[in-house]
Amino acid sequence: MEIKKDMAVSIHYTLKDIDGKVLDTSENNEPLKYLHGYGQMIPGVENSLEGKKIGDSLEVTVEPKDGYGEYDERLIAKVEKAKINADIKLEAGMPLQAETGEGVHVLYVKKIEGEDVYLDGNHPLAGIPLHFSLSVVDVQEATEEEKQHGHAH
């Protein structure tokens, strides 16, 4: 069975930066299951899996525009430390949830300078080319329920 829209797909993946440093991998866990054609995966990964079958392996380099977007300096905001409602000590790289008019957004602590905290609304993987090793573990027709929900169960 080939991967196309409305297929529930299970993959193993290893994500590296272009220097070969492993950033994330599923290899020590269950395979990642997703519903193909619903934008659950970044476009560079989803498009490269189109038409693949169980047992196929592939190596894909994804540019930021097909990944987590270009890095946008305008998404950095300087906030006074006292205005951040956190129970724990703030550290660079830490994710924070921010309530906005459009729901909850995740911001990352970019750096701390004295009483100022720089919060970054970019995805941590924005702006960098990514290298994925992918292997297709399972491909099945999605159920009606999965299609309605827009994700795999």
List residues near Zn ion by CB under 5 A: 149
Cα-based angle 41, 47, 52 (whole degrees, multiple of 5)? 105
Minimum separation from the CB atom of position 149 to Zn ion (A): 3
Minimum separation from the CB atom of position 88 to Zn ion (A): 32
Q: Is 65 left (phi over 0), alpha (psi -120 to 50) or beta?
A: alpha
* Structure token digits, residue 132: 């994925």
Count the alpha carbons within 13 Å of 41 in the hemisphere toward its beta carbon.
Answer: 24
Minimum separation from the CB atom of position 41 to Zn ion (A): 17
User: Cβ closer to Zn ion: 8 or 49?
Assistant: 8
User: Cβ closer to Zn ion: 113 or 144?
Assistant: 144
User: Cβ closer to Zn ion: 85 or 148?
Assistant: 148
